[in-house]
Structure formats: structure tokens, C-alpha cells
Structure 1
Amino acid sequence: MVTTGIVSLDDSGNYFIPQALKPGLKELNQAFFFPVMATLTEKVKICFRNDGPKGYTYGEMPAEVVDLLEKKIPDCDIALEQILDPVMELRKGPICTILDLGCGGGNLSRALSRRFTDAVIYAVDYNTTAIKRATENPNYPNVNNIQFLCLDAKALPSEWTNMFDWVILYDVLHDLSGHVKAMDEVRRVLKEDGIVSLNDPDLHSNVRDNIGDTDVAGVGYAISTVICLPSSMSDGEQSGHGMGWGTENKEEFLTNAGWVVTDKRKVGSHLALNFTCVKKE
């Protein structure tokens, strides 16, 4: 880590984090990944073998990953208001039905419940451990307007067609192994006047454009190598994206897939960019 500039070493033999890296590490709270990094590093090494798997799902990662990922958003209520602002600028009527797609342990879903007490909220994740954590977490009271469901984003229930006013994918899109099918499903279940919020890492698609960005080199790519990239390749059919997909290629994908990006703004940290999208007419 010293040789790559992630950790520095002074003349007295003391190790320390470079000042340039501290803002990104503090904002992203990435230190919470350290307890599982060793296990994940061993898993990803197998994926580099010719006879190894192309990736692995969140369900194949240590169960602690679900709990650790919930710490990525320091204050879900503040983050929710930030992604909600551009939605309310577009929305003409009330928000009555909400889909939190890739809900993880449910922290953002509970913030939605507090903010929209009269709405019907579906919180979906394909990871059974995540849904179990969301429904059995003793630190949170049960809420009546959320349904936590273990479902595949690429095959949502047929009865959900044209059902939702608002669909949220918070730090999810770049992790998906079937992002095309998933966004097709989002289009199907979204009402014609519905809105989609996609919050994802804000990295350049061209690696050269990220040179010198110590937050990306020291934080983003390292985490993506053992979590995001393997997840995006887990079905063996995709080329894989992870954080390296980048904002430019992501926006191009959304446009080509029939979405209109009405707003882009930083949410949560300077490394996170929120896309507000509607269906192209």
C-alpha cells in the first residue's frame, strides 16, 4: 500500500494515510470494509483463474457485508431528501407507490417510510441475507407501509406493471449482472409519469481521466475489485462493469435504453452522482 501511495511512510518509520486521501475515506466511510477485505481478496483471486468463476453474488460474500454496506450512508434521511429534491421538481402529483430496488438491509427503505407515511413501499433485494437483516433487525421497529421481498430485479412480478410513482436504485446499477434486463423491468413497473432515481459512483469511464484522483485510485477501484465488479459478472453472461463503468458510459446506456436524464447532481459524497430519469416519449 505504501508503494502504490495508498499509505505513506515517513523518515521515522511511521505509517500514515496521505492527506489527499482523507476526504474521500472520511466521506465514504470505507474503513468498514477492512474486516472482510481478506476473505473477499481470496474469493476474487479464484475468479482470475482460467477455470474459475467469472464473479460471485452478494449472497456468496460474507454475511457481514450486508451489515457493513448499511453504514455507507451516514444519514439516510438527509440522503433521501437530496435525491428527492429533483423528483419533486418534476412530480405533479403525490408519490403513493415506491420501489426501493436493491434495498440491502433496508436503511433507506425505512427513511422512505418515515418520509412517506401514507405511501405503499416495496423494498426488494435478491440477497436472502439482506432481506433477513431488514425484517429481523432488532434495532428498528416494524413498519406497516413497507413490504420487504426477496426478488430478482430482472424478473419482477407481472402484476407490478405500471405500478410505481418512484423507483430508486441507490448504489445498485453498477453492481447488477443483468443491468439491461433490470432496467427493462424498471421501465415496465414504472408508471408513464413515474420517475427513477439512480445513485451511483461518479467515476470517469476513461481510466486515464481518473489519473491523479486519489479518491478513485485509493478507494473506489480497490473496493470495486472485490465487491462491485465480481457482482456485476456473477451470472457469467455479462462483460462486467463495477465502478469502472463510469458516469459517461452509464449515461450513454440510459439514453440508448430510452431514458431521459432530467437532472444530475452530487448526492451523499463527491464520489456519488444521482441521475433523475423519466421515460422517453
Structure 2
Amino acid sequence: YVREWLGSMVAGEVIQAERGNPERYFVAEDHKGALNGIGIAARLFASYAVRYDAVKACFRQDGPNGVSHNDFPDVFNVFHVMRVSSVSSTVDNMVPLVEGLGEKLEDGIDVVDFGCGTGVLVLELAKRFPNSRFHGSDISEAGVAIGRQQLAQSGLTNATFSCDDLENLPEAMHGKFDWAVTYDVIHDLPHPLRALNQINRSLKPGGVYVMGDIHTPKDRCGIAGDDASMGLYGMSAFLCLPASAAEDGALGRGAAWSVEEAQDLVAQSDLQFVKTEKNKAYFAYHICRKGEGQ
């Protein structure tokens, strides 16, 4: 099996081979950086294959509405690896977007990461800002269990985790946090407007919410030849759209939504929109404050 795989990688110029007895296979130094990212993205294709038949059924008019991530929990392992590879730059990019947030984190505030998955962002923030208190909340029991395990191994004492439905948070979370964040979460939710209103309720007066989310251009007629859009639409068809359409009455947004659609959703919510900062061509941070009177 190893030999067959090596042959495929050499033929595709992913790795290199030298003649000998036996042959020697290696990764060129200038390939290693690129392969780190490619390897993570390639793991998505395995997730696509596992759920192929389930997603295919959704294309029929009499088929199911969607496919929950919990039906194929292998995807949480992929999400974990993707978060680990980018979490340091995520914190570097996100914290400066809110004026004075870095100083408040240094002094000590209450922070929640909704849709925290395996808790990668929570633990990174807790490590960087020991005076603040961080909480990770996710509907996935498997993800929260991994987060708690990682927390126990880290020795950190300023982080906690709980399993919650973001569209129906417990009353104990109302008015509890100075800063709330979601990262690649809202587009996956069946009822994202409910979630935004729940996030608003979770904030203290004057609290801030940062929604980091992936986007594609609004004009589909203008994306011909756009490789990034092609990949995002493919990912959305297999992962995000099925998850966001899995319940009756779901909005079914998926990852291939535009910045403008995200802004419209925030405008419908109880939150007060402040600004949008595009971090990359296909990713943006939407900065909001707790709505007045909420």
C-alpha cells in the first residue's frame, strides 16, 4: 500500500524519488510549506466521500432537507486540524479589530466562543490572556469533550466548556459576557437569526460580538474562472448547506453567502451593526455591539 501511494505522489510531483536499492523518497524543502495547507484541505475530500450518498439524496425533490454534521462526526476531526493550523493568525487578526479589546483582555473580561468545536480558539485566547475568563460553547458533545480533554492537559485555569444549543441558550448565559465570537459558525446554522438574537442576549451592556465568517461574491455571473469560489461552493454543497438545511423551516444559507447577505442578517437581528472588516478575499469579520434595550 505504501509503495502504491508513493508511486502516485511521485507521478503527481508531490514528492520526489531517487534511484537506489531501495529507492529513496522525500519531500523537497520548498514543497513542505505548501503541503501543510494542501494536506489539511485534502482531508475535506475524504469527508465529502463519506457523506456522498446522503448529500446526493438531498438533490431530489422528495429527498431529505439536509445532513447534520452529527450524522458524520468524522468532520469534527478535520475542523480541529484546520483550526489548529490557523488559530494563532486568527487571534492576531481578530483582536485588533475592536478598539481597546486587547487592553481589556489584558485587564480581565468574560469571553465566549459560540460554536467552539474542539476549543482550539478558546485555549489559544486563554493562554495569551491569563487575566481573562474564556468559555467555549458548542452543540457537539464530541467536540466539547475534546476541548475539555485539551484543557486538562494544558494546565490552564481560566477556561471552561459547555454543550449548548446556540439557537436556545440557557438563561444562565444571558448578560454574562463582555465579548462573544463565532468563527465559521453562523452560515452552518439552520436558524441563524435566532442564534444572533441569543448572542445579543448573552452580552453584558456595552458588550461586543465579532462574527468571523467565510463568503463568496454576491454576483454568481462574475465568478467564472475563480478557483476559490469553486472550492467554496463545493465545500458548501457537501458540508455547510446540508448542515444549515437539516431542520424543517431552516434558512439553508451555507458557506457560499455574500458579505452583503451577512450584513442583512445582522440588520434583522437585535444586534447593533458597527462595521465589516475583510480579512481575506473570502473571509470577513462583522463587528457588532449589544443592541439597546436588550
Q: In the TM superposition, what are the counterparts of 1:200-279 in structure 2 within 5 Å? A: 200-217=213-230, 219-267=231-279, 269-279=280-290
Deviates more, 1:83-92 or 1:235-244: 83-92
CA-based RMSD = 2.7
Is the 1:102–1:123 Cα contact (8 Å) retained in structure 2? yes
Q: In the TM superposition, what are the counterparts of 1:47-126 in structure 2 within 5 Å? A: 47-61=58-72, 63-73=73-83, 74-89=85-100, 93=104, 94-126=107-139
List alignment gaps of at least 5 residues for structure 2. Answer: 1-10, 15-33
Q: Indicate whether 1:186 and 2:215 are aligned.
A: no
Q: CA deviation at 1:260?
A: 3.6
Out of 44, 61, 66, the position equivalent to 2:55 is: 44
Q: Distance in 1 between matches of 2:219 and 2:155?
A: 44
List alignment gaps of at least 5 residues for structure 1. Answer: 1-13, 18-22
Deviates more, 1:88-97 or 1:69-78: 88-97
The code of the aligned residue for 1:68 comes to V
TM-score, length of structure 2 as denominator length = 0.79
Is the 1:59–1:129 Cα contact (8 Å) retained in structure 2? no
Closer, same or farther: CA 270–142 of 1 in aligned 2, 3 Å: farther
Deviates more, 1:32-41 or 1:135-144: 135-144
Closer, same or farther: CA 197–27 of 1 in aligned 2, 3 Å: farther
Out of 196, 201, 210, the position equivalent to 2:209 is: 196
Closer, same or farther: CA 241–16 of 1 in aligned 2, 3 Å: farther
Closer, same or farther: CA 197–48 of 1 in aligned 2, 3 Å: same
Q: CA deviation at 1:44?
A: 0.5
Larger CA Rg, structure 1 vs 2? 2
Is the 1:104–1:131 Cα contact (8 Å) retained in structure 2? yes
Identity %: 24
Q: Distance in 2 between matches of 1:15 and 1:28?
A: 14
- Report the number of matched residues: 259
SS in 1 for 2:233: helix
Asked which structure has the greater RCO (Cα within 8 Å, sep 6+), the reply is 1
Closer, same or farther: CA 259–16 of 1 in aligned 2, 3 Å: farther
Q: In the TM superposition, what are the counterparts of 1:136-215 in structure 2 within 5 Å? A: 136-137=149-150, 140-215=153-228
Is the 1:95–1:166 Cα contact (8 Å) retained in structure 2? no
Q: Distance in 2 between matches of 1:89 and 1:28?
A: 37
Is the 1:29–1:72 Cα contact (8 Å) retained in structure 2? yes
Q: Distance in 2 between matches of 1:209 and 1:234?
A: 29
SS in 1 for 2:98: helix
TM-score, length of structure 1 as denominator length = 0.83
